[in-house]
Amino acid sequence: MTSAPSPIENLLTENRTFDPPEQFLERNPVIHCADMETYKALYERSMNDPEGFWAEQASKSHWFEPWTKVLEWNCPDAKWFVGGKTNMCFNCVDRQVEDGLGDQYAILWEGEPETGSPEGHEVRRITYGALKRDVSRFANALKSLGVKRGDVVTLYMGMVPELAIAMLACARIGAAHSVIFGGFAASAIVDRVQDAQSKVIVTCDGAWRRGSVVPLKANVDEACTRLPGVEHVVVLKRCGNDVQWSEGRDQWWHTLIHGQSDDCACEHMDSEDLLFLLYTSGSTGKPKGIRHTTGGYMVYTATTARYTFNLEPGQRQIFFCTADIGWITGHSYTVYGILPNRVPTVMYEGAPAWPAEDRFWDMVERHRVTHFYTAPTAVRAFMKWGEEYPRSHDLRSLQVLGTVGEPINPEAWIWYHETIGNECCPIVDTMWQTETGGHIITPLPGCTPTVPGSCTLPFFGIDAAVVNEQGEELPANAGGLLVIRKPWPGMLRGIHNDRERYIDTYWSKVPGMYLAGDGARRDERGYFWIMGRIDDVINIGGHRLGTMEVESALVSHDAVVEAAVVGMPHEIKGTGLAAFVTLGPDCGDANHDELRESLRDHVAKEIGAIAKPDMIRFTNALPKTRSGKIMRRLLRDIAAGKEVTQDTTTLEDFSLLAKLRESDE
């Protein structure tokens, strides 16, 4: 059923159930959902009366004009809070200032420390008041460049506070943003800017990572040679590295905001106006621009953040999500879901193991972080680095631990629970996707008993099920397709410029239901277990990559004729990338080690370092079925070093299997 190898295979089996830790209950006077009876009652209400439930949640946000109808559903098109007028930036920033909280911290940012100078932490603490001023200035600056309501502004920046400021500034004036992860290369920028039709790109001269400069501006320059439609590039000076300058097109951020007014009214946005695009990998080579709109996404991220992390203002909470804002996790749970909940959000620049492997624990201790949200791949890396790093810090401020991006293997879960959480922090294993806007299946802290490796139960309003291709719900423990049968406010509203792909990808396999693209099963108590992607998307350490994207990058190398990319088990990443490559006739004598390096560098240049294959094998031909389809399952088995048990009689070249196994690696 599932195509990706399960990273939780062959590892510790852990059947224990962990009840909400006593200490958590004692330390938290307010628990939004304090027991399973409350969960069940609220869940049932959200199923029986979704409109009533979501209207209640939406009324916690500020609206300039109320909605006239909670939901209009014409499958696959949802409209939430129809007719309502609101502004995301107003809810994240201005509202707090208006309520007299202007001097409270909104963002705690920490720059990448310099090696050898542990005291040299560059920290910026930004209050709601300061944020309002900075966002308004930049919003006015964008207007001065001609950015209007409805335009899409591309943001390709490092993890600096100005990235959040730029996002909020766009939201303020009704422009949508499209954030591109700073680890992506020039060609990724080209595809995304073209599809979004952005005329303005905001970037930095460079981004710090492990003491060196990632040349963001140079990547934008390279991309712009193929982007005649880009009129303005705004450059934030961060690293002071040399940059090329295109007069008339390029402007420094600091020059541009100079003299801009601190005053900029929030546009009254329709609930269904586009808030942002975020590109994500699908089964074909072209990334999909996932569309999220204003009202539904706003209500959904604020509600999930509040319940899943038990956020409550006035409880001295500090929220630290380690994801880069270039991914949906950073959008929803560094910025949009956290700020309206009035809990300071931590942003950091650079790498987790720089200048030392205790970077996060040092930050947790110094900032008294209460909520820590990361990916299982990071937890596995912490385990490998060793206990001494967390042990050398006071982590007693921590109250809730979260994971996201891939299933967490029980070993990593137990280590997280014991070594980081000191057995007194609930772990929320949050299952969701770029497309879902926020958590769809997750435990609630202080409420849901957890079992390592299971993301447990659906969030309120999420009618999740495991079904067969006819849409029939499967019995306990049978593997099937994960679907959602009712619309929810945070759901994507489409793929930018590609209606057909939207319908094909999510709504056609099981008509009338949203297909997540994951295989799953539900156990006897109704808990969900995610079994991996069912399409050609590979989840590398919590980041989605389409095999086709990597294959096209490989084939664009001069030496390569054909390439097939599959997932393989990887100790830290969970799943790594294995590439099988056939070479052109001129490469017979090429040094394979050098060629491998050259291919890896080429992929990094075409897509970004995250797409570099972990293993490259050269072969004379790829195994194909008679109809010419690459036998990916066979390649996966070979990559995993497994005995090949499946029927291979459809192989076109029987000798090939042997050849593949002999081929050098």
Q: By C-beta, is 5 or 111 nearer to ligand WTA? A: 5
First to last CA, the chain: 29
Closest distance of CB 3 from ligand WTA, Å = 11
Closest distance of CB 428 from ligand WTA, Å = 9
Q: CA 665 to CA 645: how far, in whole Å?
A: 22
Closest distance of CB 45 from ligand WTA, Å = 25
Residue 132, classed as helix, strand or coil, is helix
Q: By C-beta, is 142 or 328 nearer to ligand WTA? A: 328
Q: By C-beta, is 213 or 431 nearer to ligand WTA? A: 431
Q: By C-beta, is 327 or 514 nearer to ligand WTA? A: 327
Q: By C-beta, is 345 or 434 nearer to ligand WTA? A: 434
Closest distance of CB 326 from ligand WTA, Å = 11
Check if the beta carbon of residue 282 is closer than 8 Å to that of residue 546.
yes
Q: By C-beta, is 93 or 462 nearer to ligand WTA? A: 462
Q: Which two tokens stand for residue 179?
A: 């954030």
Give the sign of the dihedral formed by CA 61, CA 178, CA 408, CA 468. Answer: positive
Q: By C-beta, is 91 or 430 nearer to ligand WTA? A: 430
Q: CA 493 to CA 630: how far, in whole Å?
A: 33
Check if the beta carbon of residue 312 is closer than 8 Å to that of residue 501.
no
Q: Which DSSP string do the residues of 233-297 spell out, in sequence order?
A: EEEE-SS-------TTTEEEHHHHHTT--S--PPP-EETTSEEEEEEE--SSSSPEEEEEEHHHH
Question: What residue type is assigned to position 116 of the chain?
Answer: G
Q: CA 442 to CA 379: how far, in whole Å?
A: 18
Q: By C-beta, is 341 or 374 nearer to ligand WTA? A: 374
Report CA-CA distances (Å) from 478 to 256, 292, 511, 579. 58, 33, 21, 31
Give the count of beta carbons closer than 10 Å to the beta carbon of residue 149.
12
| Beta-strand relationship, 269-270 and 574-583 | unpaired
Closest distance of CB 529 from ligand WTA, Å = 9
Distance of CA 448 to the CA centre of its chain: 24
Q: By C-beta, is 230 or 577 nearer to ligand WTA? A: 577
Site for ligand WTA, rule CB under 6 A: 280, 327-329, 404-407, 429-434, 455, 516-518, 530, 533, 539, 544
Give the orientation angle of helix 216-224 with respect to helix 186-196, to 10 degrees: 60
Closest distance of CB 329 from ligand WTA, Å = 5
Q: What is the CA radius of gyration of the chain?
A: 24
Check if the beta carbon of residue 375 is closer than 8 Å to that of residue 541.
yes
Check if the beta carbon of residue 311 is closer than 8 Å to that of residue 319.
yes
Residue 464, classified by CB atoms within 10 Å of its CB into exposed (0-12), middle (13-18) or buried (19+), is buried
Q: By C-beta, is 20 or 407 nearer to ligand WTA? A: 407
Q: By C-beta, is 206 or 453 nearer to ligand WTA? A: 453
Q: Give all strands of the β-sheet with 574-583 in edge-to-edge order.
A: 560-570, 574-583, 615-618
User: How many residues appear in the chain?
Assistant: 665
CB within 8 Å of 37: residues ≥ 6 apart: none
